[in-house]
Amino acid sequence: MSKKVRVRFAPSPTGPLHIGGVRTALFNYLFAKKYGGDFVLRIEDTDQNRYVEGAEDYIIKSLDWCGMPFDEGPGKNEKFGPYRQSERKHLYKQYADDLIASGNAYYAFDTAEQLDAERKGHEAEGKTFIYNWHNREKGRLVNSLVLTEAETKAKIEAGDDYVIRFKSPQDETLQLTDIIRGNMKIDTNVLDDKVLFKSDGMPTYHLANIVDDHLMEITHVIRGEEWLPSLALHQLLYNAFGWDAPEFAHLPLILKPTGKGKLSKRDGDKMGFPVFPLEYTATDGTVSRGYKEDGYFPEAVINFLAFLGWNPGTEQEIFSLEQLVADFDLARVNKAGARFDPDKTKWFNHQYMQQQLDLDLAKTFKARQPELADIDVNYIALTVGLIKERATFVSDFWDLSHFFFTAPTAYDEKASKKALKEGTADIMTKVIELVNVTEDFTVENLQTNIKGWITDNDIGFGKVMMPLRLALVGALQGPDVFDIMYLIGKAETVKRIEALVKSI
Ligand code: GLU
């Protein structure tokens, strides 16, 4: 690659960024970093009707949380700025005019009602209305191809509403190339004359997108498959301007967990998983869950998103962002849709949980659990080290570890039935003695004393260990009994066993 790689993530600020958008951003980021290029953020806000306050801020915060901040964009390294299309409004008209001058575009004055009538008329005959070579010069449609120059000028000066349409070529075969999909051929006769510019002074997505990619020197356009149908028009626009087109890569759709259809917010609501990186409160007050607030590590989110459409071609599944940058390759991105698997995202989180420092996890745990307000975070870290292998989220910690902090207030009924047998009280009284005589209160010494006593007296292990666990935990769960005794300390251990004996 001779030119410096420059890619852009170009979301429209119409609401919170869906994880599909985050995946697009990620693949752009990985590609840019792999080739030492620039990752540009451009806000495509030409459609003012769909603009949502706060959406841009949400997008930027999401990129930051994921650890893939943009290099260039609104408020940052504005070499090619501004990066909000609404602030570039003045730029686009000239390009639309150029296309008219070169015969690649024309003014159209058809009113919404006229077009609607055409559409309905076609529908009634079982046809679809498209505005292009087959009807644009037949006289029913009102545009500068049929009007004289003077008539056109008079209409514009009279303030008639108009749009500028691209004049799609007739009877041509267009060659398109996509890094992921290979070569495609398109018959230009099937294309409609898309609107490029409106009389309100705003360009449409198509014009603004091409002009900006050109002016911002974008070398690779990496975006979702939903834009593949626009590729022909975009290529034609580059040709019409006489500009080199960037290379294109259209990423596969992200499919519902069932594998059928595009993943939507509703799937998330129905199956209980987030589809947004961060929690989002809409203007009507509805709150949508976010991966962050649900307790996911950004590393886990990045890792699972990378696998939605890409694979390394090996068995390796755990990739840090740096490793992804090193191994990522657009040639290994699939054409077929990628099925979203909520269980797999949890699996990734569990894996990343194991990599976190116990002290960091303890800090998060302490901050969210009021019962831990007065507990030393280093002590919490020791308990975390014992239970995190069974946790997916920090929110699982309390259920897995409460007994390190508070004595059982009740004993699980089923567990009691299983653990409490004739003679249990006597055995536990003996265990209290053994605990009391363990001077140096370490896991090893406790083990030696208690296990030694069990073997010497030929008592079944279960007869001792089950009621002991019940006394300490209140149920037959938790990590190693000796670890628990060691951490809660001698006095507390004795107190809990005494309480069990009393309850029998
Ligand atoms: N603004 C478009 C979107 O919201 C960008 C499409 C593109 O990347 O060309 O997805």
Average pLDDT over residues 420-447: 96
Q: Which atom of ligand 1 is nearest to the CA of 230?
A: 9
DSSP string, 140-204: SS-BTTTS-HHHHHHHHHTT---EEEE-PPSS-EEEEEETTTEEEEEEGGG----EEEETTSPBP
Q: What global pTM score does this model have?
A: 0.93
pLDDT in tens, 3-35: 899 999 999 999 999 999 999 999 999 999 999
Q: Is the CB of 46 under 6 A from ligand 1?
A: no
Site to probe by mutation for ligand 1, drawn from 18, 43, 44, 219 as the one with most ligand atoms within 8 Å of Cβ, is: 44
Residue nearest to atom 5 of ligand 1 (CA): 10
Rounded to 5°, the CA angle 97-100-101 comes to 85
What is the dihedral sign for C-alpha 471, 474, 475, 477?
negative
Q: State the amino acid at position 343 in one-letter form.
A: D
What distance in angstroms lies between residue 223's CA and the mean position of ligand 1's atoms? 7
Q: Is the CB of 44 under 6 A from ligand 1?
A: yes
Q: Is the CB of 223 under 6 A from ligand 1?
A: yes
The reply to whether 61 belongs to the active site is: no
Q: Report the candidate in 498, 419, 430 with the shortest Cα–Cα distance to residue 462.
A: 419
Average pLDDT over residues 230-234: 98
Residue ranges of domains in the chain, CATH in brackets: 6-73+205-255 (3.40.50.620), 90-198 (3.90.800.10), 265-354 (1.10.1160.10), 358-401 (no CATH), 413-503 (1.10.10.350)
| Per-residue model confidence (pLDDT) at position 265 | 87
- pLDDT bucket at 127, cuts 50 / 70 / 90: very high
Q: Which of 89, 265, 430, 463 is catalytic?
A: 265
What distance in angstroms lies between residue 318's CA and the mean position of ligand 1's atoms? 29
Q: Is the CB of 11 under 6 A from ligand 1?
A: yes
Site to probe by mutation for ligand 1, drawn from 23, 205, 251, 262 as the one with most ligand atoms within 8 Å of Cβ, is: 205
280 membership: H or E segment, kind and range: strand 280-281
| Per-residue model confidence (pLDDT) at position 2 | 72
Which residues, 6 or more positions from 178, have their beta carbon under 8 angstroms from its beta carbon?
184, 228, 231, 248, 249, 250
In the predicted model, what is the mean pLDDT of the chain? 96
Q: Is the CB of 209 under 6 A from ligand 1?
A: yes
- Provide the pairing of β-strand 287-288 with 280-281: antiparallel
Distance between CA atoms of residues 404 and 322, nearest Å: 37
Q: Is the CB of 133 under 6 A from ligand 1?
A: no
Q: Is the CB of 227 under 6 A from ligand 1?
A: yes
| Per-residue model confidence (pLDDT) at position 89 | 94
Site to probe by mutation for ligand 1, drawn from 40, 194, 227, 230 as the one with most ligand atoms within 8 Å of Cβ, is: 227
- pLDDT bucket at 48, cuts 50 / 70 / 90: confident
Q: Which atom of ligand 1 is nearest to the CA of 205?
A: 1
Q: Is the CB of 10 under 6 A from ligand 1?
A: yes
Q: Is the CB of 45 under 6 A from ligand 1?
A: no
- What is the share, in percent, of the chain residues with pLDDT greater than 90? 96
